A = this chain, B = another copy of it.
Amino acid sequence: MRSFGASPSPCYTPPMSTPSPIFIGVDVGGTNIRAASFTRNSHLPQKKVKHPTKAADGAEAIIKRIENAIRDVAPPGLDGVVAIGIGTPGPLDPYQGIVFSAPNLKGWENLPLKKIMEKRLEKPVFIGNDANLAALGEWKFGGGRGHDDVLYITISTGVGGGVISQGRMLLGANGLAAEVGHVTVDPAGPMCGCGQRGHLEAIASGTAISRAARARLEAGEAPDSKIRDLVQGDLTKVSTTIIGEAAQADDPFAHQLLTEAGKVVGQALASFLHLYNPSVIVVGGGVAFVGELLFTPMREAMRQHAMNEVYWRYCPIVPAELGDDCGLIGAAALAMEEAKT
Chain A residues packing against B (C-beta within 8 Å): 91, 100, 147-149, 165-166, 168, 170-180, 182-188, 192, 194-196, 199, 267-268, 270-272, 274-279, 305-308, 310-311, 314-315
Q: A268 to chain B: which residues have CB within 8 Å?
A: 184
The closest CB in chain B to the CB of A175 belongs to B277
Take A91-B310, A183-B271, A184-B271 as given contacts and tell me if A170 and B174 are in contact as well, using a CB distance cutoff of 8 Å: no
- Could you name 25 residue pairs across A and B whose Cβ atoms are closer than 8 Å? A149-B172, A165-B165, A165-B170, A165-B172, A165-B177, A166-B171, A170-B170, A173-B277, A174-B279, A174-B314, A176-B277, A176-B311, A177-B274, A179-B274, A179-B307, A182-B274, A183-B274, A183-B275, A184-B305, A186-B186, A186-B187, A192-B307, A196-B305, A199-B307, A272-B275
* Contact status B277-A182, CB under 8 Å: no
Known A179-B274, A183-B183; contact A173-B279, beta-carbon cutoff 8 A? yes
**Given A173-B315, A182-B271, 7 additional A-B pairs, CB 8 A:** A147-B173, A165-B172, A166-B170, A171-B277, A174-B277, A177-B275, A188-B188
The docked-state distance in angstroms from the alpha carbon of A182 to that of B199 is 17
* In contact, A173 and B186 (Cβ under 8 angstroms): no
Q: Pick the contact of A267 from B187, B270, B279 — CB < 8 Å?
A: B187
A183 proximity list for chain B (CB < 8 A): 183, 271, 274-275
Q: Do A276 and B184 form a contact, CB below 8 Å, given A91-B310, A307-B194?
A: no
Residue of B nearest to A172 (CB): B277
Q: How far is the CB of A190 from chain B (nearest CB, A)?
A: 14
Please indicate the chain B residues that have their CB under 8 angstroms from the CB of A275 in the complex: 177-180, 183, 272, 275-276
Is A187 within 8 A of B185, CB to CB?
yes
User: Which of B178, B185, B279, B314 makes the CB contact (< 8 A) with A184?
Assistant: B185
Asked if B173 and A267 sit within 8 Å, CB to CB, the answer is no
In the complex, residue of chain B having the shortest beta-carbon distance to the beta carbon of A95: B166
Which residues of chain B are within 8 angstroms of A315 by Cβ–Cβ distance? 173
CA distance A277 to B165 in the complex (A): 14
**Bound: A168/B172 CA distance, A:** 11
